[in-house]
């Protein structure tokens, strides 16, 4: 199974500042035939279901603010929030869907 | 309105069985792969199971393979998870979710149903 490891486990960022969350896969999740990285990012606010932010590592889901961006390739990925807003307080998860089981990272708790 | 609504959760003794259902509305249910993801209280997300649009291909996480069975009824717009030989560690909120169409990322989630395995 592919192991997904996020860092840090928790992060405190001031309003308006940049937040960066990292995700590392134990093996490549880049499918060479289509040059796509099989990685998604989710946001889960307290008491809510997860919400998809990104897929293909850097494609923003419809309706997601453009202050959220995804980058990286092969085994190392980053979710960046360019200017933190109060409503961004949440736990963030990465997930690989390159091979089953489609494992999740352990989560990163983002606080103000 | 677009909805996924899970049901069937509850309290069950270790070794017992339970079947979860997920009813879809407002979406073209038969066109997308679907999945079950769970979250133990206070913990992270765990991928449980995944099923193709036709229902002919199914996939399972290591901890549930051989005990859980995923299925779907496209005519009823419903997804199911039959759970047998339940263990204390299966205690979690179980979410059903719809694949966005890329082979494993989920863009629509239900509100979840709680399963508690305890004697």
For range A18-26, the mean pLDDT: 98
For chain B, what percent of residues have pLDDT higher than 90?
Answer: 87
- CB crowding A70-86: b at 16 or more within 10 Å, else e: bebeebebbbebeebee
**pLDDT of B2:** 78
Distance from CA of B65 to the nearest CA of A (A): 11
Q: Return the residue in B104, B107, B108, B112 with the most chain A beta carbons within 10 A, the one to mutate for interface testing.
A: B104
Shortest Cα distance, chain A CAs vs residue B100, angstroms: 9
Task: Quote the CA–CA distance of B25 and A55 in Å, as a whole number.
Answer: 24
Q: Under DSSP, is residue A87 helix (H, G, I), strand (E, B) or coil? A: helix
**pLDDT for B101:** 84
* pLDDT tens track for B12-43: 999 999 999 999 998 888 999 999 999 999 99
pLDDT of residue B44: 97
Taking CB atoms and an 8 Å limit, are A104 and B61 in contact across chains? Answer: no
Q: What pLDDT score does A63 carry?
A: 95
Both structure tokens of A89: 């307080």
Per-residue model confidence (pLDDT) at position B28? 86
Average pLDDT over all residues of chain A: 96
Chain B residues with beta carbon closer than 8 angstroms to that of A3: none
From B61, which residue of chain A is nearest by alpha-carbon distance? A101
pLDDT tens readout for residues A29-67: 999 999 999 999 999 999 999 999 999 999 999 999 999
Q: Using H for helix, E for strand and C for coil, what is the string for chain B? A: CCEEEEECCEEECCCCCEEEEEEEECCCHHHCCEEEEEECCCCCCEEEEEECCCCCCEEECCCCCCCEEEEEECCCCEEEEEECCCCHHHCEEEEEEEECCCCCCEEEECCCEEEEECC
Q: Give tens-digit pLDDT for B62-85.
A: 999 889 999 999 999 999 999 999
pLDDT of the residue at A83: 95
Q: Which residues, at least 6 apart from A87, have a Cβ–Cβ distance to it below 8 Å?
A: none
């Amino acid at each position: 199974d592919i192991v997904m490891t996020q860092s840090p486990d928790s992060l405190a960022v001031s309003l308006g500042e940049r937040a960066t969350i990292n995700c590392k896969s134990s093996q490549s999740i880049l499918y060479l035939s289509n040059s796509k990285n099989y990685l998604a990012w989710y946001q889960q606010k307290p008491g809510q279901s997860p919400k998809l932010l990104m897929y293909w590592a850097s494609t923003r889901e419809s309706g997601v603010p453009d202050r959220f961006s995804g980058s990286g390739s092969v085994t190392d990925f980053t979710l960046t929030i360019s200017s933190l807003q109060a409503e961004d307080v949440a736990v963030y998860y990465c997930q690989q869907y390159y091979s089953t089981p489609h494992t999740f990272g352990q989560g990163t708790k983002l606080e103000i | 309105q677009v909805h996924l609504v899970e049901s069937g959760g509850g309290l069950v003794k270790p070794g017992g069985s339970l079947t979860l259902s997920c009813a879809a509305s407002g979406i073209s249910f038969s066109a997308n792969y679907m999945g079950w993801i769970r979250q133990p209280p206070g913990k992270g997300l765990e991928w449980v199971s995944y099923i193709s649009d036709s229902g002919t291909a199914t996939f399972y996480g290591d901890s549930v393979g051989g005990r859980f069975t995923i299925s779907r009824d496209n005519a009823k717009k419903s997804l199911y998870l039959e759970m047998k030989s339940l263990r204390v560690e299966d205690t979690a909120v179980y979410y059903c979710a719809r694949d966005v169409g890329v082979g494993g990322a989920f863009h629509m989630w239900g509100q979840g149903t709680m399963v508690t395995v305890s004697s």
